[in-house]
């Protein structure tokens, strides 16, 4: 029984609740593979083989210290099955094909693409300080990076539509180059040659910031603009 263990919710990011409430060490205790973001949306995190890396707003990749504060993340213990080898095609086409092979849109699963990419476009964000702006505002200040002919790993999760607001519906992928000199939240990609692996997950476990008074006091009952902001920021 391997579930995706999630720290925080997308709603927290949308509603400017950006205090770190767990650490990189906590994330790695819940699994060796995953994605996330630091407190104040401090860059993009990618967890691979039990190590947590941050791609910061300058595009620099570094392994984070154990006490690195985290506001949002998805983690699981990797046990992937190789589904297929893919040659030249668009990332979106590949993901559509992969979803068809999985055969359902109603389960959580993790995706791992390893190999050669013709092109990868990523983004990262600058750490915000209190009082925190909303994710919509942060998204406007994001930095986009492009890389051609890069070898690396794309890893992330598929979330069923029902869980929008808890997570990001559909695919949410982060990238790390083998050279550890490029990465971030994946916006676009073109495949040269990759091995595509999938791991079906049994469900979702969500850890909330129980001791955070801002979270306790926030009015989180208005769900009307969640979908709009998530689609604008995460696509
Ligand atoms: Zn992301």
Question: Residue 153 belongs to a domain with what CATH number?
Answer: 3.30.1330.80
How close is the Cα of 85 to the center of ligand 1, in Å? Answer: 24
What value does the mean pLDDT of the chain take?
Answer: 94
How close is the Cα of 69 to the center of ligand 1, in Å? Answer: 16
CA-nearest of 6, 13, 37 to 185 is 37
How close is the Cα of 102 to the center of ligand 1, in Å? Answer: 22
Could you report the per-residue pLDDT of 92-109, keeping only the tens digit for each? Answer: 999 999 999 999 999 999
Strand (E) positions, 31-125?
Answer: 33-38, 42-48, 51-55, 61-63, 69-76, 81-86, 89-90, 109-124
How close is the Cα of 172 to the center of ligand 1, in Å? Answer: 6
In total, how many domains does the chain have? 1
How close is the Cα of 87 to the center of ligand 1, in Å? Answer: 25
Separation in Å, CA 213 to CA 128, 149, 188: 19, 46, 37
How close is the Cα of 64 to the center of ligand 1, in Å? Answer: 17
Predicted pLDDT at 143? 95
**Which of 164-168, 189-193, 204-208, 214-218 shows the lowest mean pLDDT across its residues?**
164-168
How close is the Cα of 174 to the center of ligand 1, in Å? Answer: 6
How close is the Cα of 234 to the center of ligand 1, in Å? Answer: 7
Compute the distance between CA of residue 155 and CA of residue 198 in angstroms, rounded to an integer.
10
How close is the Cα of 74 to the center of ligand 1, in Å? Answer: 10
> Taking 70 as the threshold, does the pLDDT of residue 235 lie above it?
no
> Would residue 96 be called left, alpha or beta, if left means φ above 0 and alpha means ψ between -120 and 50 degrees?
alpha
Q: Where residue 228 falls among pLDDT bands split at 50, 70, 90? A: confident
How close is the Cα of 24 to the center of ligand 1, in Å? Answer: 16
Compute the distance between CA of residue 101 and CA of residue 83 in angstroms, rounded to an integer.
8
How close is the Cα of 177 to the center of ligand 1, in Å? Answer: 16
**C-alpha triplet 84, 88, 94: angle, nearest 5°:** 50
Query: For residue 58, what are the domain limits?
Result: 4-234
Give me the percent of the chain exceeding a pLDDT of 70: 97
Could you report the per-residue pLDDT of 131-165, keeping only the tens digit for each? Answer: 998 766 777 778 999 999 999 999 999 999 999 99
Predicted pLDDT at 224? 81
Separation in Å, CA 97 to CA 37, 104, 188: 28, 12, 16
Predicted pLDDT at 140? 75
> Taking 70 as the threshold, does the pLDDT of residue 204 lie above it?
yes
How close is the Cα of 36 to the center of ligand 1, in Å? Answer: 6
Query: What single string gives the DSSP state of each residue in 117-146?
Result: EEEEEEEE-PPP-SSPPPHHHHHHT-EEEE
How close is the Cα of 192 to the center of ligand 1, in Å? Answer: 23
How close is the Cα of 10 to the center of ligand 1, in Å? Answer: 10
Q: Where residue 84 falls among pLDDT bands split at 50, 70, 90? A: very high
């Amino acid at each position: 029984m391997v579930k995706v263990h999630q720290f925080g919710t997308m709603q927290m990011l949308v509603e400017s609740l950006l205090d770190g409430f767990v650490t990189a060490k906590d994330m790695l205790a819940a699994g060796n593979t995953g994605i996330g973001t630091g407190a104040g949306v401090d860059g993009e995190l990618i967890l691979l083989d039990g190590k947590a890396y941050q791609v910061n707003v300058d595009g620099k990749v570094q392994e984070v210290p154990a006490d690195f504060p985290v506001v949002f993340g998805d983690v699981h213990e990797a046990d992937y099955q190789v589904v297929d080898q893919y040659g030249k095609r668009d990332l979106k086409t590949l993901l559509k094909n992969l979803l068809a092979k999985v055969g359902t849109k109603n389960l959580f699963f993790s995706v791992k693409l390893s190999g050669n990419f013709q092109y990868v476009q990523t983004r990262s964000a600058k750490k915000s300080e209190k009082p925190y702006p909303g994710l919509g505002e942060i998204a406007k200040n994001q930095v986009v990076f492009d890389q051609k002919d890069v070898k690396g790993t794309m890893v992330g999760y598929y979330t069923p539509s029902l869980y929008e607001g808890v997570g990001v519906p559909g695919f949410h992928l982060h990238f790390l180059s083998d050279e550890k000199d490029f990465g971030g939240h994946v916006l676009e990609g073109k495949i040269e040659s990759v091995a595509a692996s999938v791991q079906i997950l049994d469900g979702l476990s969500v850890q909330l910031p129980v001791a955070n008074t801002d979270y306790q006091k926030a009015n989180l009952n208005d769900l009307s603009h969640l979908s709009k902001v998530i689609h604008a920021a995460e696509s």
